[in-house]
């Protein structure tokens, strides 16, 4: 996977002005964190598909399912609860904003990392 600067810019723009935002290369893409907790990542697969990875948390799985057909993240053969991939090409701005809002609420619900 590779970082997709266009997708990263979409996330960066949405998070602009928030306190505690940082960026870090993780999960084969560029992750955006708030107070040290992952909110979302932007990447491009080897097949060339742009996608976002959102961390909405276990408690928000039902809300995430209502927003469409997210693909649960599988890492090391294990499904990672609360992490979902979405195809960037099929993610309209209003739905994208809802995903970001849920992921931000999850990040802000956690104590800041030192």
Specify the pTM: 0.92
The kind and range of the H/E element at 12 are helix 5-15
Q: Give me the domain span that covers residue 23.
A: 2-109
| 114 inside domain | no
Note the pLDDT of residue 48: 85
Number of domains in the chain: 1
| 83 inside domain | yes
What CATH number does the domain containing 23 carry? 3.90.1150.30
Contact 31, 47 (CB under 8 A): no
The kind and range of the H/E element at 55 are strand 50-55
| 33 inside domain | yes
| Residue ranges of the chain with per-residue pLDDT less than 50 | none
d(CA 89, CA 24): 23
The first and second tokens of residue 3, run together, are 């970082």
Note the pLDDT of residue 41: 95
């Amino acid at each position: 996977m590779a970082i997709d600067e266009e997708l990263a810019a979409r996330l960066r723009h949405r998070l602009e002005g928030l306190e505690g935002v940082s960026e870090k290369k993780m999960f084969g893409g560029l992750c955006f964190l708030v107070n040290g907790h992952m909110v979302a990542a932007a990447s491009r697969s080897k097949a060339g598909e742009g996608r976002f990875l959102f961390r909405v948390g276990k408690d928000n799985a039902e809300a995430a399912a209502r927003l469409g057909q997210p693909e649960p993240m599988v890492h090391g053969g294990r499904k990672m609860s609360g992490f979902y991939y979405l195809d960037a090409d099929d993610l309209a701005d209003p739905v994208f904003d809802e995903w970001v809002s849920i992921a931000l609420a999850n990040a802000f619900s956690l104590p800041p990392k030192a």
